[in-house]
Amino acid sequence: MKGMTELLKGVLEGVVLQVIQNSEEAYGYQITSTLIELGFQDIVEGTVYTVLLRLEKKNLVTVEKRKSMVGPARKFYRLNDAGVTYLADFWQKWSFLVDQLIKIKR
């Protein structure tokens, strides 16, 4: 869907964290594919990587580089404790927002 950019702000971090958690660990290229499969058609690789670097900088994930047999090395991300807490907090804020919007729409 077109024009989702602004709506995605603040959401993508949580979404990426959740996708990582869903598969225990995940790497950027894989996350991008997963998101596109799930319907985020317009998500671009670059966007996902900037999110991942941000998550790393915020110390919400651990990173492990491992070689691949079909291309360059992959950077596998995993949530750490702070990441798990952050994700739970994200869903709480999200639910809150959803509830507010339901109230407004009536």
Choice from 23, 62, 73, 91 touching its own copies (CB under 8 A):
91
The partner in contact with residue 29, picked from DNA, its own copies, none with C-beta cut-offs of 5 to 8 angstroms by kind, is DNA
Mapped to the 3 state alphabet, what secondary structure does the chain carry? CCCCHHHHCCCHHHHHHHHHHHCCCEEHHHHHHHHHHCCCCCCCHHHHHHHHHHHHHCCCEEEEEECCCCCCCEEEEEECHHHHHHHHHHHHHHHHHHHHHHHHHC
Q: How far is the CB of 63 from its own copies (least distance, A)?
A: 21
Q: How far is the CB of 103 from its own copies (least distance, A)?
A: 6
44 binds its own copies (CB under 8 A): no
Between helix 12-22 and helix 81-105 the angle, nearest 10°, is 130
The partner in contact with residue 38, picked from DNA, its own copies, none with C-beta cut-offs of 5 to 8 angstroms by kind, is its own copies
22 binds its own copies (CB under 8 A): yes
27 binds DNA (CB under 7 A): yes
The partner in contact with residue 18, picked from its own copies, DNA, none with C-beta cut-offs of 5 to 8 angstroms by kind, is its own copies
